[in-house]
Amino acid sequence: MRKSLLTFGLAASTLATLAVPLGGANADAGHPRVRKIQPTALPQIGQVAERYQSYNVESVEVTGGNFWAPYPKAGEAPPKPAVGPHGTEFATDAYQKREPIDLRNRRLRVLAKGLAPSYMRVSGSWANAIHFQDDDAAPRPAPAGYQGVLTRKQWAGVIEFGKAVDARVLTSFAVSDGARSKDGAWNPEGARRLFDFTRSIGGRIDAVELMNEPNVRPKPYAPADFARDHRALRTLLRDVSPSTLLVGPGSTGEAGFKLFANLPEQMSTMRLLSAMEPSTFDVFSHHFYGAVSERCKSLGERRGTDVTTSEADALTESWLARADQAQSFYRNVREKVAPGAPIWITEMAQTACGGDRWSSTFVDTFRYVDQLGRLAKQDVSIVFHNTLAASDYALIDDRTWLPRPNYWAALLWRRTMGTKVLDAGTNQGTLHVYAHCQRGVSGGVTVVAINLDQGVPAALELGGPVRRFTLTAAGDANEAAALNGRRLALVGGKALPRLVPVMERRGLINLPPASISFMEMPRAGNTGCQ
């Protein structure tokens, strides 16, 4: 990538500019890129769930096991070879042995609660073969037909964490050989025991998927068998937890984004669901990754995508618009198999297989915020980021438990963006603008403006007054974020800081190069936001 603000962080002169108000007389009326928004008149075009911004805590994090290895930093040795749930086709350094995640970690809980309310999805490819050990004994080796063990203590930790941080629980079940009867049908008894134990400790499972990514199994799922197993799951829910939502199918790798080119067969969702009864799903779900990381190169080497991703592509429309392409495809599928059902994207991140080397930096924050804006306009109700705190694509660093740049963007979205989606117009060029009703303020509007240009500022004419929160990179490596020119960090290493806006009274609002600005207008008087 050429030398740029993204490569070296914002220049000192730019940071100094961000430390002072940028509106009114300071704005250049002859600015080459000025966009006018009338917040009072913006019409509502959709609505997201209150828990729109959610996340994954993978099952293998809970149980311990081999998960995507972080890329080694300078001077670090590569991870020891390990095998994951997809077999040995991946590079030997793709996985790393991990101990079970400490869901009692105080800093992790503070950060997760900052995003509340949310959903926490405990699933992933590993979950397809994890046995629930329904007793209080020490963990035993996985029974035949399984690849891992989930203990009562570990699951109780999930339920307790969810209560502590206001995260509802979505999970899936084992569908491997050990969870099947002699005739090959899925046996729901393991799932029944998980429900019974959850209820016994005063918890609940709010939503379930049968399994993770059924259309990319090494052994293809016959449509009739998939329908049969879902009937068994629906019967179980009616018996043990009628209010639990049945979510599915959780497909991935379609709409031109076949992630794993070397799998023997990747079944289309329409074919997979061809034997299903109408209205099987309470929620229609799918996964979206615009590409795969280098960890998965031997299962496709990114050949499954139409554009090779790199740090240089991170601020291009061709990269960001992939979310529109995938969602348009799956929305059409939803209309055929579950008309009118809410759409949840139950996995999404920079790339599949743990993310690229730059997915933990501010470079990826543009994608993160832009996709939240795009998908809210595309009928998506909830987005589950993968993951909360594991591997390079996580919101939180799993070695330090400190927030990454994407976390700060997630926190600002949570604090400023309400559930009603407004039409801020069509994005053109390198200035992307999205709008929602302001969170918690009747008639208020929040606009988020993303200036993708690395060298040229832009401007918005909003009228005012405006409370502006501008995110930029902080530091040469882009591993931190700055708010209005000040580096963001936890207070004392354990508490979220105050997010202090810059007050803009009137006039143009300057948008620095390579920046993301959340702008609250509590006096907008938008009647659709009352």
In three-state secondary structure terms, 147 is coil
Same domain assignment for residues 22 and 76: no
**Measured distance CA(40)–CA(5) in Å, rounded:** 34
Q: What are phi and psi of 429, to 5 degrees?
A: 70, -140
For residues 350 and 311, the answer to whether their CB atoms sit within 8 Å is no
**Measured distance CA(243)–CA(117) in Å, rounded:** 19
Neighbouring CB atoms inside 10 A of 317's CB total 15
Same domain assignment for residues 18 and 87: no
Q: State the residue range of the domain holding 225.
A: 53-352+377-391
In three-state secondary structure terms, 39 is helix
Same domain assignment for residues 288 and 428: no
Q: What are phi and psi of 16, to 5 degrees?
A: -65, -40
Output the six-digit token pair for 233.
């799951």
Run of H or E including 68 = strand 65-68
The enclosing domain of 160 has a CATH number of: 3.20.20.80
**Measured distance CA(102)–CA(153) in Å, rounded:** 12
Same domain assignment for residues 344 and 440: no
Beta strands in 332-401 (DSSP E): 343-348, 380-385
Residue 261 domain-assigned (yes or no):
yes
Please tell me the predicted confidence (pLDDT) of residue 2.
36
Please tell me the predicted confidence (pLDDT) of residue 83.
63
Please tell me the predicted confidence (pLDDT) of residue 262.
52
Residue 397 domain-assigned (yes or no):
no
Closest-CA residue to 87 (of 219, 259, 205, 175): 219
- Per DSSP, 295 falls in state G
Instruction: Give the chain's length.
Output: 530
Give the mean pLDDT of the chain.
88
Same domain assignment for residues 287 and 325: yes
Instruction: Give the distance from CA 324 to its chain's centroid.
Output: 15
Residues of the chain with pLDDT under 50: 1-5, 7-31, 87-90, 264, 300-307
Residue 399 domain-assigned (yes or no):
no
Please tell me the predicted confidence (pLDDT) of residue 263.
53
Output the six-digit token pair for 249.
């199918």
Please tell me the predicted confidence (pLDDT) of residue 310.
77
Residue 415 domain-assigned (yes or no):
no
pLDDT digits (tens, 9 = 90+) for 60-113: 999 999 999 888 887 777 766 666 665 444 455 788 889 999 999 999 999 999
Cα end-to-end distance, the chain, whole Å: 46
Same domain assignment for residues 111 and 22: no
Q: How many domains would you assign to the chain?
A: 2
Please tell me the predicted confidence (pLDDT) of residue 502.
96
Please tell me the predicted confidence (pLDDT) of residue 291.
86
Residue 253 domain-assigned (yes or no):
yes
The enclosing domain of 497 has a CATH number of: 2.60.40
Same domain assignment for residues 32 and 133: no
Please tell me the predicted confidence (pLDDT) of residue 81.
62
3-state SS, 448-481, equals EEEECCCCCCEEEEEECCEEEEEEEEECCCCCEE
Amino acid of residue 371: Q
Residue 240 domain-assigned (yes or no):
yes
